[in-house]
Amino acid sequence: MSFTSVVVAAAVALGAIAAPADPQLGSAAHNLVKRTTPNSSGCSDGFWYQFWSEGGGGQVTYTNKAGGEYSVTWNNCKDFTSGKGWRNATGRTIKYSGSFSLGSNSYLAVYTWSQRGETYILENYGGYNPGTAGGQHKGTLTSDGRTYDIYRVDRGNGYMQFWSIRQGKRSSGIVTTKNHYDKYNSLGLVFDPAKNATYQILSTEGYGSTGNADLTVAEILNIQMKTFYGYLLSFQARCGLNITLL
């Protein structure tokens, strides 16, 4: 069992790469900011976690709990991302559950980050829909029983964001990430998250808002051979191998 807490207070100023000016984005530009590497990251009870904050206002408290569970509370903060998942991004099937108390600007998403871009499979969000922030609507995708709107956002200098925004918000469910990554690649994504992303997490993100979340994430593998399942369990101490048997 591993418990780690990270607190960022208003007095702490942590660096970020500001979003380039874009008249299409207007006041919503902060929601599509490019990010630096995490302020804190590492292994926690067999999962990879990361926490990043712009700093400079409000307070965010992130806590690693047992297994794939984490909690985060934030109060009038600037931009932050946080969550648990895997050190590598693959087309895995992810199961998640928990509570997500919405701030006006907050996201719950399966998120990948790399030096070349980001991807968001957005499952829940507050009053602000990032699809309205000047991104290009690239069609829809039906996955896991629901339709997602696909957006592409060019942040400049070759840095791209792809968004899948679910029609119908939720705070628990199953996400087949391969369906989304295949769609992004078909639309000209220059980096394949399954090959190039630095990490893949169930992310809670907030900006200029107040809220809290307590979430648990796991990977689903459809394995019928129980002996093989037992063999895999022996490796659960390694980051990135956390499984649920169907």
Calpha distance 115→25 (Å, rounded) = 22
Question: Nearest CA to 217 among 14, 56, 50?
Answer: 50
Q: Terminus-to-terminus CA distance in the chain, angstroms?
A: 24
**SS3 of 214-229:** EEEEEEEECCCCHHHH
Specify whether 219 is catalytic.
no
Find all residues with CB under 8 Å of 193, minimum gap 6, and list them.
89, 112, 114, 119, 177, 181, 184, 200
Among the residues of the chain, which ranges form H helices?
A: 177-186, 193-196, 226-233
Report DSSP state, residue 13: B
- Reading the block at residue 144, the tokens are 């896991």
Q: Which helix (H) or strand (E) holds 184?
A: helix 177-186
Specify whether 69 is catalytic.
no
Calpha distance 146→154 (Å, rounded) = 26
Q: Catalytic residue among 54, 69, 123, 205, which?
A: 205
Q: Which amino acid appears at position 212 of this protein?
A: N
- Reading the block at residue 119, the tokens are 């991807």
Q: Catalytic residue among 54, 118, 123, 219, which?
A: 118
Calpha distance 53→59 (Å, rounded) = 10
Calpha distance 105→211 (Å, rounded) = 9
Catalytic amino acids?
118, 205
